[in-house]
Amino acid sequence: SCILAIETSCDETSVAVVKDGCEVLSSVIASQIETHKAFGGVVPEVASRKHVESITLIIEQAVAEAGIEMKDLSAIAVTQGPGLVGALLVGVMAAKSLAFALGKPLIGTHHIAGHIYANRFVGDIAYPCMALVVSGGHTELVYMKDEGSFELIGRTRDDAVGEAYDKVARALGFPYPGGPHVDRMALEAEEVVDLPRVWLEPDSYDFSFSGLKSAVLNVVNQSKMRGEDVRTEAIARGFQESVVEVLVEKAVRAVKAYDAKQLLLCGGVAANRGLRQALSERCGQEGIPLTIPPFQYCTDNGAMIAAAAHLKWKRESFTPLDMKADPQMSLEFWAEH
Ligand code: ATP
Ligand code: MG
Ligand code: FE
């Protein structure tokens, strides 16, 4: 198959063409970061307008770079949800128009299934497996018995990891999105500020990061009140070490408890070097096969949407042209429809 996929759930306008769910023929990612930076975060209305401005050109560019013609496409895939409704709508309208005009099937796709299946760009996936999803809006442990089956066994009770990274970064004076800045500071730091680990109940696979975030804000505010320098690097390192320790520990425990054959890391925070390194080391010690998508497929991209859409393509499970963007779509719902 040759699937063209459109992703506009947040602040990246991205279109990719992917062969057989694993071979990326083209991947165009237009980030709106520069536009949103001035506001310190994503402004939904601005995101929608930006998507509208660029979507047509980006589709054309992705097709041209893939070295194919529109008529060679097998299907048009699009992120149906979850995400910002106005932003999703732009991609959904573009995908419907394209599918209708070309007479090709449409495949509405789940954004997080996309993040998970970005691991197909690394190799085949062995089931049952466990996915650790760490992104701007999600922090989840997903048990996958078979291909395309999803069982949420743990989730964040408050902030998502990426969200916590962005808020901590902001308190430390870095621009949106702050994750990469905190990552860099943490790895450069020579000292570390000790911060709490939040484990919740001993048997829980849930997460909580708002307490840690508040602890960081307290340390920052205390320094400012005393007129001392904020220990930016040491705080970043303390924060990252706390986050990474909890994520690694819970993911490894889940893999063992569910007898998973493999651990898949995914989502924007999977680009975090501290996490990639710590998880690789620990999985190495435990003998757990781990896959992590290449950096460019960790944050939002159309290629991962095509990889997930390929599951539906194989089952000829297509989406009617009158489908709607679903900003709250769950993984389980997507799997069953
Ligand atoms: P979701 O996928 O849950 O809908 P999203 O699509 O907005 O949310 P992603 O694109 O998957 O989020 O990831 C973006 C997040 O990843 C941001 O919060 C960003 O700070 C974070 N991030 C990116 N790189 C790094 C890094 N190196 N270290 C930590 N966080 C990072
Ligand atoms: Mg983004
Ligand atoms: Fe995402």
Residue 129 has pLDDT above 90, yes or no: yes
Q: Please state, for a pLDDT cut of 70, what percent of the chain lies above it.
A: 100
Query: Is 199's pLDDT higher than 90?
Result: yes
The pLDDT assigned to 115 comes to 98
Confidence of residue 331 (pLDDT cuts 50, 70, 90): very high
Q: Mean of the pLDDT values across residues 241-259?
A: 98
- Answer yes or no: is pLDDT of 107 > 90: yes
pLDDT, position 39:
87
Give the pLDDT of residue 127.
Answer: 98
DSSP 244-259: HHHHHHHHHHHHHHTT
**Residue 334: what pLDDT?**
97
Percent of the chain topping pLDDT 90: 95
Q: How many CB atoms lie within 10 A of CB 172?
A: 21
In angstroms, rounded to a whole number, what is the distance separating the alpha carbons of residues 201 and 71?
A: 54
Query: Which of 80, 299, 301, 305 is the pocket-test mutation for ligand 1 (most atoms within 8 Å of CB)?
Result: 299
From CA 166, how far away is CA 42, in angstroms rounded? 11
Amino acid at 242: S
Mean pLDDT of 248-271: 98
Counting from 1 in the atom list of ligand 1, the atom nearest the Cα of 275 is 28
Residues 149, 151, 157, 159, Cα dihedral to 10°:
-20
Q: Residue 164 has what pLDDT?
A: 97
pLDDT band at 225; cut points 50, 70, 90: very high
d(CA 38, CA 58) in angstroms, rounded, equals 24
Residue among 51, 111, 132, 135 whose CB has most ligand 1 atoms within 8 A, to mutate: 135
Residues with CB under 6 A from ligand 1: 10, 83, 111, 115, 135-138, 162, 165-166, 177-180, 183, 267-269, 271-272, 299-300
pLDDT value of position 297: 98
pLDDT band at 40 (very low <50, low <70, confident <90, very high): confident
Ligand approaching nearest to the C-alpha of 133: 1
pLDDT value, residue 38: 83
Does residue 233 register a pLDDT over 90?
A: yes
Ligand nearest to the CA of 139: 1
**Is 135 among the annotated ligand-binding positions?**
yes
Q: What mean pLDDT comes out for the span 262-283?
A: 98
Mean residue pLDDT of the chain comes to 97
What is the Å distance from ligand 1's center to 136 Cα? 4
Distances (CA, A) of 223 to 87, 167, 219, 220: 40, 18, 6, 5
**Ligand 1 pocket mutation, candidates 10, 117, 304, criterion most atoms within 8 A of CB:** 10
Q: How deeply is 287 buried, as exposed, middle or buried, from its count of CB atoms within 10 A (0-12, 13-18, 19+)?
A: exposed
Q: Which ligand is nearest to the CA of 136?
A: 1
Q: Whose CA is nearest to atom 1 of ligand 1?
A: 137
**Which residue's C-alpha comes closest to atom 2 of ligand 1?**
135
Q: Does pLDDT of 34 surpass 90?
A: no
* 101 C-alpha to ligand 1 centroid (Å): 34
User: pLDDT, tens digit, for every residue of 286-304?
Assistant: 999 999 999 999 999 999 9
User: Which residues are registered as beta bridge partners of 156?
Assistant: 207
Specify the residue with its C-alpha closest to ligand 1, atom 8: 136
Mean pLDDT of 225-235: 95
- The predicted model gives 239-257 an average pLDDT of 98
Quickly state the pLDDT bin for 37 (edges 50, 70, 90): confident
> What would the pLDDT profile of 45-54 be if each residue is shown by its tens digit?
889 999 999 9
Instruction: Report the distance separating Cα 240 and Cα 170, nearest Å.
Output: 15
**For residues 272 and 182, what is the distance between their CA atoms, to the nearest angstrom?**
9
